[in-house]
Structure 1
């Protein structure tokens, strides 16, 4: 059981490290054509993607629990 916890911790640290690498890499990308003001903000795309993914998961779980989940004695 301890081996599973070690693997989960390792995966979590690798995930966080990859997020940091993506945000840091965005600081070094040269943008020739900026159409919107947020295109000039380094790391905005990565942060926007992360926040929208988390929001999508939370909203879909809430909809699933409110509309799709039935009580245990639904068919009785």
Structure 2
């Protein structure tokens, strides 16, 4: 679940336009299971991480994710 987003940078000068978004993702409700349904890893209350999404504007005006990365400190 996305907890929050914020614009880190927006470049309208170079073509195409690009934007860097910081997106805090909460994965505390995610459970990893084996084929038999055994829980390998259950989410916890501190399972949040900051994702950095680079968006590129298309010629049609829509934004597409062109890169996904993580900062050195992914806590959010």
Query: Normalized against structure 1, the TM-score is what?
Result: 0.25
Structure with the bigger RCO (C-alpha within 8 Å, sep 6+) is 2
Query: Normalized against structure 2, the TM-score is what?
Result: 0.25
Larger radius of gyration: 1
